[in-house]
Structure 1
Amino acid sequence: MALLGIAKKIFGSSNDRRLKPLFRRVEAINALEDELSKLTDDGLIAQTEKLKQRYKDGESLNDLLEEAFATAREGAKRALGQRHYDVQMVGGMVLHLGDIAEMKTGEGKTLVATLPVYLNALTGRGVHVVTVNDYLASRDAEWMGRVYTQLGMTTGCITHGLSDEERRAAYACDITYGTNNEFGFDYLRDNMKSSLDQMVQRGHHYAIVDEVDSILIDEARTPLIISGPTDDKSELYITIDALIPQLTEDDYEIDEKQRSVTLTEEGNEKIEGLLKEAGLLQGDNLYDSVNISLVHHVNQALKAHKTFQRDKDYIVRNDKVTIIDEFTGRMMEGRRWSDGLHQATEAKEKVQIQPENQTLASITFQNYFRLYEKLAGMTGTALTEEAEFADIYKLNVNEIPTNRPIARIDMDDELYMTADEKYKAIALEIADCVKRGQPVLVGTVSIEKSEYLSNLLSDKKFYKDLAKTLRERAANLKEKEAELKTKMESQAAYLSELGDRKDPIPHNVLNARYHEQEAEIVAQAGAPGAVTIATNMAGRGTDIQLGGSVDMQLMASLEEGDDEETIKRKRTEIEAKIAADKQKALDAGGLFVLATERHESRRIDNQLRGRSGRQGDPGTTKFFISVEDDLMRIFGDGMEKMLKRFGIRPDESIEHPWFTKAVETAQKKVEQRNYDMRKNVLKFDDVINDQRKAIFEQRIEFMSTDTVDDIIGDMRNQLVDDLVAAHMPPKSYAEQWDVEGLKKDLQEIFGKDMPIDEWAKEEGVADSEIADRLVEETGRIAGARAAEVGPDMMRRIEKAILLNVLDTNWREHLQMLDHLRSVIWLRGHGQRDPVNEFKTEAFALFESLLDGLRRDVTRMLMHVQVRAPEQALPERREIPMTETHVNPTTGENEMAAVDPRSRLSAGIGTMKGVARTKGVDPNDPETWGRVPRNGPCPCGSGKKYKHCHGSI
């Protein structure tokens, strides 16, 4: 370790070595400043056009960096009156290189982004700037848009509620601001459109993610989902519900701790028999891929009957099942269990079954942002998640030096035995700050705890009781503790005074939601004596300036009809007042950040700490924690016993670096657990990501081509080959052929009787020859259909049907994957990896999707009827859609209603990156892979595997 420290002093850290060459480029940028300052405004716009042309002529963006950064700095000076610091230039270079720039609060990240945004916008391919909420997107687009306008570039902004035309116009701009949700949902919606001109996005070239840790780490725990109502399945729920009471206690096992129920082996066999009698089971095995949806419904019905109790977990009132909150005991009107569980409970209680929603499209933030050719991010706190950024996104974290040295004092944690003692100490600290005129930002980990502390600060009796306690403690102090006694008596007197006030300590409370009003309150949190209570995410994106914000106060003071002279006068008055207030706050010690609890993530704590000490201002941060806090209780590893051994007394605390370190160790455990959760979400999404991309790419190819007749022909020919192979297996004898079955399938699909039985009687005829004849015959049928409808009209019908069937089958495929994922964890009980099992099953389902697509498209084209020109094209049924992204912090929904053979068109039916399943030889167990014990034995005996080759 000592040698490592010496080497670091000599050679610098890895971060220093990465930044050193970037600082050298700053000198070249600064050398251009005088020259560019002499340009007129039109000359500055001409400079942009000159740089664009040089890029078109073959120069790289890296070649243009110095001139582009110097030009952007000049534009900011003229539009905003702000000049980029040298360290901001370095931050801009890091973002251009496609990495993460960690910059402390108040270092001007919003302004830094203009540098790489301007440079990369020279390509004309569009740049996306991603923010955490609509307010910041609108604010930054308007604010920084002045810089881009000064430089001759256009700026757009994507917020919730815009029409497709407005979105298309915003994406067509050189620079587009918007939220992570909006960008992601637009991508999903674009891949549900029926023509290219309906799409709004124009590719994924370069994106800068503001608050990158919040978007790519915190919110990545939940995917974006667009859902719509499913077909009515009431009869299925009712039928399955009637089967569950026929099971006995030996047929299932209940895990009360996990609140789950699973069928035993005997139960599996019994439910298979019952389902077969009901005509619901396809084949003999419940766990075949074709029965995945059925397994899901059986499991949900079993769960509804065996683990959910009426009048405890839910009540039935007015013909509805209403959930009861397990913590509060209150009815949760409007809330429904997902994945068909609510419908299963409705069937159990014999009330009207409401339709469930199905997933129409979904994507995780990880896979959405990995679509970009180049991705960068900026935040004040990323180093603690450096490994995850590198592993998932291939992004390096670079710590950018501050413009001025940090003067903030980070004190050790103050640890108490109980939460009550902790809150008393917090109230005392806040009162002391208010008395001295020091602004306080109080951080809490939840809305409930914010409200609890707010009520405490407003409770006059609480201050009276606290004053009494302090006086009693002061009276027991010894003479040598006279100084402490005097201080405590002074505090008690002040607390008594607060207890006599109508509003003891005025304060603002902010929750975790983002609103413009909230940003205004946070901007004024630096006023002398101001007390602001905020949850862990509140106020991000808004700078806390000591004394307050001139712009915010000016906006609040403006009245309708104010002329320029009045506005100028008001600004001067506000500036003078804020300068005096800032000096008062500085004299009191700057912003005091007081945290009421350690968050489960060190990064969130660092975000809170970073609010204090901006731009070299003084400040103090301190965390108050207790053994009863969730983090310490669950992950503290015997902290309570340790404190008792130290002999800690009531209302006493311990401050020591060792305890601070112990808390950080507990946080690391939670961070690792959360990382594993996010990685698990990504593992499952990665399984279908290749399928998703292949489907989306094929849709775009279908929409962009004038005719899809070659694609349709390939699909028709492959369908014929598949049907022949299914009914006339290769290397089989003619006597084994299922000629009647083949005739029936062909009749159903093509609407014509084929003379297959006559061909099959011919001497020496092979299955391949019959397939060739069928390909020729079906080609003639298709040609006749095209001639009947008209070639041009047929081309349009083919494209419309192809897209409609593809979308319908893809939706059903996603629903099957949802059901599969809900039950795949059961494989873990059999010592199988659920992710690998999900991969295997998902690829098999994808094969079924492709088979069904070829069959459905061909059948529809063979039977389509054109009665009148206006009825020629099948109408695209509009589905009411709901957008869902659950905020992991609040638990609330943030959005609401609203080889040629590698192609999908190819006859073989494989897709890019999607493997085909290998053939199974009944005589070679080595080719069987893992066979379900209740599945049919691959040898062809007709027995279950467990009773045949799988017998023990």
Structure 2
Amino acid sequence: MVDLAEEETRGLSDTALRRAINTLRQRHQNGESLDALLPETFAIVREASVRMLGERPYTEQLIGGAALHLGAAVEMKTGEGKTLTGVLPACLHALTGQGVHVMTANDYLAARDAEWMGPVYGLSLALQAKELYVKDRDYAVVDGAIRVIDTTTQRPLSDRTLHDGLDQALDAKEGLEVRPERQQLATIDVHAYLKLYSRLAGMTGVIEGEADAYPGLYGLECVIVPPHHPVRRVDHDPSMFANDGTMLRAVGTTVQTQCTAGRPVLVGTASDEMAGRISQTLRAAGVEHDVLDARSHEREAEIIARAGRPGAVTVLTRMAGRGVDIRLAEPEGAGLYVLGVGPMSSRRMELHLRGRAGRGGDPGESAFYFSLEDALMKNTKTAQRLTEGGMDGPLGPNFAITRLILAKLNAVSAFQTQSLTEKLRFSAVREEQRAGVYARREEVLRDGITQDRMDGIIHSVIQTLVLAARTGPQDVDRLAQALGTLCPATVSRDTIAVGLSGSPTSKVRADLVEAVVRDVRAADTARVAELGPNTAARLRRRVMLSVLDRLWRGQLRDLDDAQDGQTLRTVAGGDALGGYQRTASRLAATMWEEIDEQFVGYWFNVEV
């Protein structure tokens, strides 16, 4: 149907194409569904793409666009045109007038497509900064500043900070000027943020190994779109070496052989540290090359632009999206040779790296080298058996090694999915509280603090204070002092003593609550009369928002601390999630009580 609609749009002028889009928008406003408008919209986008970009979306891209429109997680191989595919449903949904957000976790692709003083807060932070946070793995020093390295893309992030003073501890560790602590004002995790959208879809180059997770995590069914061009890449089974030294020598030999033959070579690994060792090996062999790691991300476009030239050698760390733009300078040659060194973080990342070769029907070749000293293999029975056998040269490629490595990578992927699921369960607790706080905030912004709401807050605060008080003489004094500090209550000490003589459920205690509430409500009426209704309404709103925001910031810190504590409990085999839920519930109850109590206190005592 898109092809039929395309025939009608082909003869339209540019102005007529724009009018056609406006007509479609009006038809949708008049009740036609997006499903019905899809063929014409896709045809217009297809024709506009031909005129503006010289690219005509092919059938597989239309299939991918339709699947995205229906809310699926779509797999399209590297080089199959995901960027243009995404334009199709984006234009379709723009007809609603509600806006469309196209997001990526990769700054490079996005650009391409359009607390405490560390030295003072001592031992704990210093040890974490020194032992747990490794330079060029967890963070990098860029232009004299600490930049956290994204665990997925391996890029340093300019807008990401740590908490609990770790930023400052890392500043001190690296001899930099120690920054003042930033305070977290609000937070929402990516999963919860995405769930706020009424319609969600996604694209990736590799779904294998994670297809079962998407329905549960995001409510998305997976659709695999076949490639437009046949895959011509040759994928070799992995080779195993006795140790890193032997493996690196083989890397140097392989790279030298391939680049001497005029092929561009891409060497991928999971860490900056291994990338450095590979670079050292290549320098020793006299092989010119570029290194694309966390420290060179600003030169990414420049490095990638020459990575497809004959004989070019590029070493990169495992970075989502890196290398997707490598285009062969000689498409008719043997193609890009991809060599993976050491284990990737998952089977999916291995396939991502292999997919850099043979994109869009180009020729290509991929191989992987592993060492028994890799974290994936170290201390395994297989490694011990092979080491004891005196293995020195490469073992494999063979079926047994391939099966072993695949099993290990699949196990890692399963663990990552389980960890993500567990993390999201923790996040759901925080998200529930965030939703409650933001709902209260929206209510205050919209309605202010109505008199009924004010009366309810006063009653709740007084009831909490009075019922929580004990019955001793000192408790009488404490309650009298608390009431006097909170608000201009005039209830006598004798009245308080009588009220506290009974249990929290007694009539005398209930009578005391009502007496104090009447007193405070009278003071509230006088406060409104003193300020005037308009000024009083503005002050109530301002005070509540200030208290709400400040205590929510504190709650976020408390929830972080609670989750950190429960992480240790997980290691010990305890019920981490249950413990966190109970702690979070208790913290929330305390927060809401403090919000109302502090609001009442500031309302009566702040000077205007």
TM-score category (smaller protein)? 0.7 to 0.9
For 2:12, the equivalent position in structure 1 comes to: 39
Does 2:271 match 1:446? yes
Q: Is the 8 A contact 1:727 1:737 kept in 2?
A: no
- Give the drift of 1:327: 8.4
For 2:190, the equivalent position in structure 1 comes to: 365
- Give the drift of 1:365: 2.1
Q: Is the 8 A contact 2:116 2:165 kept in 1?
A: no
For residues 419 and 343 of structure 1, the distance between their equivalents in structure 2, rounded to whole angstroms, comes to: 36
**Structure 1 unpaired stretches of 5+:** 1-27, 142-227, 238-299, 315-321, 345-352, 464-503, 548-580, 730-734, 867-952
Return closer, same or farther for 1:63/1:516 CA change in 2, 3 Å cut-off. farther
Does 2:350 match 1:611? no
For 1:117, the equivalent position in structure 2 comes to: 90
For residues 324 and 133 of structure 2, the distance between their equivalents in structure 1, rounded to whole angstroms, comes to: 37
For residues 126 and 326 of structure 1, the distance between their equivalents in structure 2, rounded to whole angstroms, comes to: 40
For residues 116 and 865 of structure 1, the distance between their equivalents in structure 2, rounded to whole angstroms, comes to: 55
Which amino acid in structure 1 is aligned with residue 197 of structure 2? Y
Return closer, same or farther for 1:415/1:743 CA change in 2, 3 Å cut-off. closer
Does 2:282 match 1:507? no
Does 2:24 match 1:55? no
Q: Is the 8 A contact 1:719 1:854 kept in 2?
A: yes
Return closer, same or farther for 1:355/1:507 CA change in 2, 3 Å cut-off. closer
* Equivalences for residues 811-822 of structure 1 within 5 A: 811-822=553-564
For residues 507 and 341 of structure 1, the distance between their equivalents in structure 2, rounded to whole angstroms, comes to: 36
For residues 218 and 303 of structure 2, the distance between their equivalents in structure 1, rounded to whole angstroms, comes to: 35
For 1:750, the equivalent position in structure 2 comes to: 487
For residues 454 and 21 of structure 2, the distance between their equivalents in structure 1, rounded to whole angstroms, comes to: 48
Q: Is the 8 A contact 2:265 2:312 kept in 1?
A: yes
For 1:679, the equivalent position in structure 2 comes to: 421
For 2:253, the equivalent position in structure 1 comes to: 428
TM-score by length of 2: 0.85
- Give the drift of 1:49: 1.6
For residues 570 and 255 of structure 2, the distance between their equivalents in structure 1, rounded to whole angstroms, comes to: 52
For residues 439 and 544 of structure 1, the distance between their equivalents in structure 2, rounded to whole angstroms, comes to: 10
Residue 443 of structure 1: SS of its match in structure 2? strand
TM-score by length of 1: 0.55
- Give the drift of 1:660: 0.9
1:390 corresponds, among 199, 207, 215, to 215
Q: Is the 8 A contact 1:103 1:379 kept in 2?
A: yes
Return closer, same or farther for 1:827/1:595 CA change in 2, 3 Å cut-off. closer
Q: Is the 8 A contact 1:419 1:626 kept in 2?
A: yes
Q: How big is each residue's C-alpha offset from its partner over 1:661-694, in whole Å with a ceiling of 9 and x where there is no partner?
A: 1111111222233333333333322222100111
Residue 585 of structure 2: SS of its match in structure 1? helix
For 2:503, the equivalent position in structure 1 comes to: none
For 1:781, the equivalent position in structure 2 comes to: 523
Which amino acid in structure 1 is aligned with residue 316 of structure 2? A
- Give the drift of 1:63: 2.4
Q: Is the 8 A contact 2:270 2:317 kept in 1?
A: yes
For residues 393 and 468 of structure 2, the distance between their equivalents in structure 1, rounded to whole angstroms, comes to: 80
For 1:88, the equivalent position in structure 2 comes to: 61
Percent sequence identity is 34
Residue 582 of structure 1: SS of its match in structure 2? coil
Does 2:46 match 1:73? yes
Q: Is the 8 A contact 1:94 1:398 kept in 2?
A: yes
- Give the drift of 1:715: 1.2
Q: Is the 8 A contact 2:64 2:74 kept in 1?
A: yes
- Give the drift of 1:413: 1.4
For 1:30, the equivalent position in structure 2 comes to: 3
For residues 106 and 582 of structure 2, the distance between their equivalents in structure 1, rounded to whole angstroms, comes to: 39
Return closer, same or farther for 1:409/1:115 CA change in 2, 3 Å cut-off. same
Does 2:563 match 1:590? no
For residues 374 and 857 of structure 1, the distance between their equivalents in structure 2, rounded to whole angstroms, comes to: 38
Q: Is the 8 A contact 2:488 2:520 kept in 1?
A: no
For residues 474 and 394 of structure 2, the distance between their equivalents in structure 1, rounded to whole angstroms, comes to: 88
* Equivalences for residues 299-318 of structure 1 within 5 A: none
- Give the drift of 1:458: 2.2
For residues 698 and 69 of structure 1, the distance between their equivalents in structure 2, rounded to whole angstroms, comes to: 43
Residue 441 of structure 1: SS of its match in structure 2? strand
For 2:590, the equivalent position in structure 1 comes to: 848
For 2:237, the equivalent position in structure 1 comes to: 412
**Structure 2 unpaired stretches of 5+:** 136-140, 147-160, 170-177, 500-505
Q: Is the 8 A contact 2:544 2:599 kept in 1?
A: yes
2:432 corresponds, among 676, 683, 690, to 690
Does 2:105 match 1:132? yes
Structure 1's consecutive aligned runs of 4 or more residues displaced over 6 angstroms after TM superposition are 324-328, 332-338, 340-344, 735-738, 759-762, 828-831
Residue 671 of structure 1: SS of its match in structure 2? helix
Q: Is the 8 A contact 1:510 1:538 kept in 2?
A: no
Return closer, same or farther for 1:114/1:690 CA change in 2, 3 Å cut-off. same
Return closer, same or farther for 1:652/1:392 CA change in 2, 3 Å cut-off. closer
For residues 601 and 814 of structure 1, the distance between their equivalents in structure 2, rounded to whole angstroms, comes to: 32
- Give the drift of 1:787: 1.0
Return closer, same or farther for 1:29/1:829 CA change in 2, 3 Å cut-off. closer
For 1:918, the equivalent position in structure 2 comes to: none
For 1:630, the equivalent position in structure 2 comes to: 375
- Give the drift of 1:398: 1.5
Return closer, same or farther for 1:70/1:828 CA change in 2, 3 Å cut-off. closer
Residue 404 of structure 1: SS of its match in structure 2? coil
For 1:800, the equivalent position in structure 2 comes to: 542
Q: How big is each residue's C-alpha offset from its partner over 1:579-619, in whole Å with a ceiling of 9 and x where there is no partner?
A: xx333xx2xx2111112223131111111110111222221
For 1:318, the equivalent position in structure 2 comes to: none
For residues 456 and 107 of structure 1, the distance between their equivalents in structure 2, rounded to whole angstroms, comes to: 34
* Equivalences for residues 551-950 of structure 1 within 5 A: 581-583=330-332, 586=333, 589-634=334-379, 636-642=380-386, 648=391, 650-705=392-447, 708-727=450-469, 741-755=478-492, 757=494, 766-824=508-566, 832-866=574-608
Q: Is the 8 A contact 1:408 1:620 kept in 2?
A: yes
Return closer, same or farther for 1:743/1:652 CA change in 2, 3 Å cut-off. closer
- Give the drift of 1:334: 8.5
- Give the drift of 1:92: 0.6
- Give the drift of 1:816: 2.2
- Between stretches 31-40 and 537-546, larger displacement belongs to 537-546
For residues 840 and 45 of structure 1, the distance between their equivalents in structure 2, rounded to whole angstroms, comes to: 57
2:328 corresponds, among 531, 543, 546, to 546
Return closer, same or farther for 1:807/1:541 CA change in 2, 3 Å cut-off. farther
For residues 325 and 824 of structure 1, the distance between their equivalents in structure 2, rounded to whole angstroms, comes to: 18
Return closer, same or farther for 1:755/1:124 CA change in 2, 3 Å cut-off. same
Q: How big is each residue's C-alpha offset from its partner over 1:870-918, in whole Å with a ceiling of 9 and x where there is no partner?
A: xxxxxxxxxxxxxxxxxxxxxxxxxxxxxxxxxxxxxxxxxxxxxxxxx
For residues 340 and 516 of structure 1, the distance between their equivalents in structure 2, rounded to whole angstroms, comes to: 28
Which amino acid in structure 1 is aligned with residue 291 of structure 2? V
- Give the drift of 1:772: 3.6
For residues 131 and 466 of structure 2, the distance between their equivalents in structure 1, rounded to whole angstroms, comes to: 56
Q: Is the 8 A contact 2:116 2:168 kept in 1?
A: no
Residue 74 of structure 2: SS of its match in structure 1? strand
For 2:138, the equivalent position in structure 1 comes to: none
1:458 corresponds, among 263, 283, 286, to 283
- Between stretches 92-101 and 109-118, larger displacement belongs to 92-101
Return closer, same or farther for 1:775/1:728 CA change in 2, 3 Å cut-off. farther
- Give the drift of 1:710: 3.9
